[in-house]
Structure 1
Amino acid sequence: MLITVTRTGGFAGRERTGSLDTECRPDGIELERLAERTLSAEDAAGREPLPDGFHYLVRVDGKTVELRDPYLTEEQRQLVGAVLGEGA
């Protein structure tokens, strides 16, 4: 499974994108589970953005979900952190 996260916004307004393929990772099954739960969650497109908050686009196998701070669940934060290389 290919997971891509693009983060925009924040105080500096910089864009950051990361991708990972779960196939050869020891934590691949856990990341796939997090990705599936993220895709099934409510999309944040209709939620009010927080000034200087981060905005995320999570793409998994052709499906995309939009997330915004501060509305991420703990599982979504773990997934975003893993893909962007920022820890969980």
Structure 2
Amino acid sequence: MLITVSRSGGFAGVGKVRKIDTSVRQDAAAWEDLARRVMPPVADGFHYRITVDGQELVLEEMGLTGDQRELIRAVLGEMA
């Protein structure tokens, strides 16, 4: 399993990306279990990418706030 985590933003705008390849680790089972626990199951759910003046937000349908749903409905012209 390949796990990638990236961070961006912050005061200094210092980003960081790190990849963990579990196939070469003795503690692979623990890493893979943790990775599976943080990924929410979304059966046939929609994914959204909202960009506002260059700032990007990636969302899963199950975790949308009311305001996010309202914006998606307004822009796409359909029920979200």
TM-score (norm. length: structure 2): 0.47
Greater share of helix:
2
Max radius of gyration: which structure? Answer: 2
Q: Which has the higher contact order (CA 8 A, sep 6+)?
A: 1
